[in-house]
Structure formats: structure tokens, C-alpha cells
Amino acid sequence: MNNPIGIFDSGIGGISILDKLKDMLPNENYIYLADNLNCPYGNKSKDEITCLSIKNCEKLVELNCKIIIVACNTATTNSIEKMRKSISIPIVGIEPGLKPAIYYTKTKNIGVLATGKTLSSKLFFETLNSNKNENIVIHEQIGYQLVDMIEKTSYTNEDIYEILKSYLSPMINKNIDCLVLGCTHYHYLKSIIKDIIPNNVFIIDTITPVVNHVLNILKQKKILNNTYGEKYIRVSYNGNILSKKYISKSYKLSYLDF
């Protein structure tokens, strides 16, 4: 089935998921919506986030997508239930990453860097409460400014290093041995984060589980694309032009009103 896989995020954060999907499923077509007109989602109300998320899903359905990946932790944790009730095709969100962190930790201290809306969401609390061992402590930090800086590429490595160090140092001092990056945008900062955290602190991968889940659904629904011929990857934005820093030159980049 050659209908495209649809993906959306508030900006370029979810490109990291698109890149991984493209590598694992090269026979598929892809449409990525960057709702950068409304970026960031992390400072909006739950109702606003839900309305924006459903709007994006409806556009991807209109574009004949066969499955939708919500490549935004804030949208997933605040709106995934309502999206699934409103949209008829399969929808895959991003898990908060707490379960593998709880399984992995030896020091019983876990760090979470995320948006405020993700940390305060119902899904985050439910995931935490259903998996948490009473001896484990979760150290949360809101990533103020980070999404805006990444979207606008308005930072030097020195700038972002100092900000990240101020966010991560208190968690490091609490003896964390794993760190959950609760926003797809933050994956672009992994190399800087690794320069700050000790070698024993493991960064939890929240992207690979999403890609594996998508593959399983496509197999179960028998909608994998096994056709030959030229494939396409379209990245559309509705605000100012996206920074090309993180976008492959092979992706077709264009403006779309949605």
C-alpha cells in the first residue's frame, strides 16, 4: 500500500523520527507536517494542544496517509486519547520513556528533561504511577527556552552548553544513572548533553520504540509498502521557513497552509 506515512510535530523535532523511519522503512512514502506557526506547544493549554493536534491529524488524513505518528511528546501526552477518538486511521504516539528508565536504573535516581506540559500531563503521571518502584526517585527539569533555540538555531554550542549544564547539574548531583529526553527536539542536543553528563548516565532512546511500533502496526494491518518505484519524503511547514540545519537535502521542503 503506497499511501504515505504521516508525521507531525510542532517544528523540526520529529525529523529525528522521520530519519529513523526512512532508514528502517525505505520503501515507504512520507509526509511530515511542521506546525511551526504554533511552535512551541509546551507553553499552550491542554485544549489548545488538543485542537492543534487534531487539526494536524485531519490534514494528514486529507493527504491520504495510512498511519499517523505524533512526533511530539507534548502533543502525545496531552492529546493522544482524543486524537484516537477523532481520527479513524492508526495513531502512534511517543511514550514518555519512563518504563525503560525504571527498568534500567541501578542508583534508583532517574532524570527527566521535558516541557512543562509533558511533565504535568495525565499520561506522564499514569505511566509513572503504573511503573514506579517506591524506591525510585524521578528528578524532573523543564527545558525552558530549548525548543525555541533549536527551531531558530539561535544558539552557539557554548550558549546551549551553559543552559543545559544548569538544567542537568542538579540531577547529576542527585546521582541519576539514566536521563530521559522527553522532547524530540532535545535529541539534536545529545552530543552536548553527553559532554555534560558522566559516562555512567545512560540516555534513554524514545525514538526506536516508536519506529518498531509503527513497523508492527503496518505488518498487522497488512499495509506495508512493497511496491517498487520512486519514493517521496515531503516536509511541509506553515510558519516561517524551517531551518535546514537538521533536514536532509533529499527531503522535499515546502510551505503548506494547514
What pLDDT is stored for residue 132 in this prediction? 65
Cα separation, 156 vs 57, in Å, equals: 34
Contact 19, 36 (CB under 8 A): no
- What are the pLDDT digits (tens) for 182-215? 999 999 999 999 999 999 999 998 999 999 999 9
How many percent of the chain have pLDDT more than 90? 79
Mean pLDDT of the chain, nearest integer: 93
The C-alpha cell of 206 is what? 524514545
245 CB-near residues (< 8 Å, 6+ apart): 153
Which residues participate in catalysis according to the annotation?
72, 183
Q: Which 3-state string (H, E, C) describes 150-177?
A: HHHCCCCHHHHHHHHHHHHHHHHHCCCC
Cα separation, 15 vs 203, in Å, equals: 19
What pLDDT is stored for residue 131 in this prediction? 65
Exposed/middle/buried for residue 205 (C-beta within 10 Å: 0-12, 13-18, 19+) = middle
Domains in the chain with CATH codes: 5-93+207-255 (3.40.50.1860), 98-204 (3.40.50.1860)
What pLDDT is stored for residue 130 in this prediction? 73
- What are the pLDDT digits (tens) for 96-146? 788 899 989 999 999 999 999 888 887 777 777 776 667 899 999 999 989
Calculate the dihedral angle through the C-alpha atoms of 139, 136, 123, 41, rounding to the nearest 10 degrees.
10
Q: Is the pTM of this model over 0.85?
A: yes
What pLDDT is stored for residue 154 in this prediction? 73
- Across 32-38, average pLDDT: 97
What pLDDT is stored for residue 129 in this prediction? 74
- Across 173-177, average pLDDT: 98
Binning pLDDT at 50, 70 and 90, where does residue 224 land? Answer: very high
- Across 236-247, average pLDDT: 93
What pLDDT is stored for residue 95 in this prediction? 81
Strand order in the sheet with 233-237: 91-92, 67-70, 5-9, 30-34, 233-237, 252-255
